[in-house]
Amino acid sequence: MTAQPNSGPSPEDVTPLRPEPPAGARPEPAPAPRPRGRRRLLIVALPLALALAGGYVWVTGGRYVATEDAYVKQDRVSVMPQVSGQIDAVLVGENAAVRAGDTLFAIDPAVYRSVVDEDRAKLESARLEVEKLKAAYAQAVSEAATAREALATAETQDARQQALFRGGVVPQAAADDSALKLQQAKGALAQAESRVLSARAALAGDPDIATDRHPAVLEALAALNGAELDLANTTVRAPVDGVVSQTARLQHGQYVTPAVPVVTLVATDETWIEANFKETDLTHMLEGQPVEVTLDTFPDRPLKGEIDSIGAGTGSEFALLPAQNASGNWVKVVQRVPLRVELEPGQALPALRTGMSASVEVDTGHVRGLPRPVAHALAALGLGGHTAVAAPAR
């Protein structure tokens, strides 16, 4: 066999030789071992700190309850004419700001002006009739007095004739004629007194009644007042301060009728916020609690307010078609209850428009506190603890 030559050690098997330090030089120190305990401490401390911070936030949280389901609300007034007719003039433009009493539009007043003139003439005629009734009463009283005097004369003459007849001075015919005249005088007096009563009744039982207090005159006055009111209603005015809308629909010559809205007026004298909170957020909400409102249009101008009232029911209860939950497909859904938030007076308000979106945050003054098991455990150890604590109002 032929022996293989020794090729020597491979490069991998060769250990590099450390150069010898020069004479008089200090040897290099050995590298220190890495501290593994600090790394483990950091690995444990970070989740623990996060857990403690989260627990603190949860325990001290729950004081503020917020919702973005909130909107600016203002009263809307549907303006409708009180009389029918053709529009004669439109005096406001679309989205114009108006004050209470400003004229919005006018209806042609010609027909109503003629009715006023007619009723005014009827009123004067009624007053004249009352004066005639007073004159008729005075005449009836005078006729009754004359009939009363005639009766007294007839009674005297009849007594004389009857005495002469009994003495045989006058015949029977003369006595009968005197008795007949006496009966006629009595009948005339009765008729005269009846006319007095009729004339008094025509004057409402009071001969001295004022002309304008007579029922016929009062009726004519009422008709005239109604006609004047209709004439005044031909000018349609703004009932409150606000911004008028939908005036572009009004055209000159357009015929309008009562009880049909033709213009909408958004009242700006009172503005509030309607916030819809989940029913689970109402646990600690009370009227009068402070509220901060942030409008989407003006996010850098938060407004202050307070809860004015809490709705009587959820929105689904007032829906046109309430949900029928008595079925096999029922799914529980958190309901929302509307809250009315009044804005704090005296603060500078931006230009608010009804329907604007807003975010509402309520300070309930209540925090969650420790969970009951933890609180009971701390109490057992004598360390105290409450399940919930009240936070001071901000």
**Exposure b/e, 189-219, CB count within 10 A at least 16 = b:** beebbebbeebbebbeeeeebeeeebebbee
Domain ranges of the chain: 63-75+264-363, 81-108+234-260, 112-229
d(CA 126, CA 219) in angstroms, rounded, equals 9
pLDDT tens by residue, 57-73: 766 667 889 999 999 99
Look at residues 198, 186, 95, 83 and name the one whose alpha carbon lies nearest to residue 137: 198
pLDDT tens by residue, 343-386: 999 898 888 999 999 999 999 888 776 667 766 676 777 665 55
pLDDT tens by residue, 129-157: 999 999 999 999 999 999 999 989 989 98
d(CA 19, CA 34) in angstroms, rounded, equals 27
Residue 96 has pLDDT above 80, yes or no: yes
Residue 321 has pLDDT above 60, yes or no: yes
pLDDT given for residue 393 in this prediction: 47
d(CA 338, CA 349) in angstroms, rounded, equals 23
Structure token digits, residue 297: 């249009």
Rg (CA), the chain: 52
Task: Please name the fold of domain 112-229.
Answer: Methane Monooxygenase Hydroxylase; Chain G, domain 1 (1.20.58)
Task: Please name the fold of domain 81-108+234-260.
Answer: OB fold (Dihydrolipoamide Acetyltransferase, E2P) (2.40.50)
Are 102 and 92 in contact, with CB atoms under 8 Å apart? Answer: yes
What mean pLDDT is predicted for residues 90-113? 92
Residue type, 210: A
What mean pLDDT is predicted for residues 82-105? 92
Q: What are phi and psi of 384, to 5 degrees?
A: 75, -160
Quick count: other Cβ atoms within 10 Å of Cβ 116?
20
Work out whether strand 336-343 and strand 263-278 pair parallel, antiparallel, or are unpaired. Answer: antiparallel
Question: CA–CA distance from 338 to each of 54, 283, 313, 341 (Å)?
Answer: 31, 14, 8, 10
d(CA 234, CA 214) in angstroms, rounded, equals 30
Which residues on neighbouring strands pair with residue 363, listed in sequence order?
A: 64
Poorest-confidence range of 116-130, 151-165, 284-298?
151-165
pLDDT tens by residue, 9-42: 554 444 455 555 555 556 556 555 556 677 777 7
pLDDT given for residue 16 in this prediction: 52
Domain 63-75+264-363 has CATH 2.40.170.20: no
Q: Binning pLDDT at 50, 70 and 90, where does residue 3 land? A: very low
Structure token digits, residue 225: 């007042």
Which runs of E-coded beta strand occur in 180-315?
235-237, 242-245, 255-256, 263-278, 290-295, 303-310
d(CA 123, CA 108) in angstroms, rounded, equals 25
